[in-house]
Amino acid sequence: NEGAFVAVDASGTISSWGHAGYGGSGAPTGIGFHSITSTARAFAAIGNPTGTIYAWGEAQFGAAQYGGQPGPPTGSGFASLFSSHGAFAALDGSGVISSWGNL
């Protein structure tokens, strides 16, 4: 990420800091998380135990739907996250890949 950082502790709690618009604030709370990753200006994580995707930061870089680009997938059962400079991809338990962000 170009201006923010995140850390996940042993219980799955996310701490974020840095540039607020790039995900330095606004990290989700209340459940445990795993498989966190970032684009240049956003973060995404998978929530336990449902496998739901949570994203925050700049919408254009994958935090939300932006213009004609898709936002994070809805639903549950996601197991892994991947990212590039401006987009995310998530693999679910049945092997289906969903991608979103600045594709």
Question: What letter does residue 5 receive in the DSSP assignment?
Answer: E
Mean pLDDT of 86-99: 97
Measure the CA–CA gap between 47 and 73, rounded to whole angstroms. 13
Range of the domain at 20: 4-101
Q: Average pLDDT of the chain?
A: 96
For 11-75, give the DSSP string.
Answer: T--EEEEE-GGGTTS----SS-EEEEEE-SSEEEEEETTTTEEEEEE-GGGTTS-BTTB--PPPS
* Predicted pLDDT of residue 13: 95
Mean pLDDT of 7-32: 94
How many domains is the chain built from?
A: 1
Percentage of residues of the chain with pLDDT beyond 90: 95
Asked if pLDDT for residue 56 goes beyond 90, the answer is yes
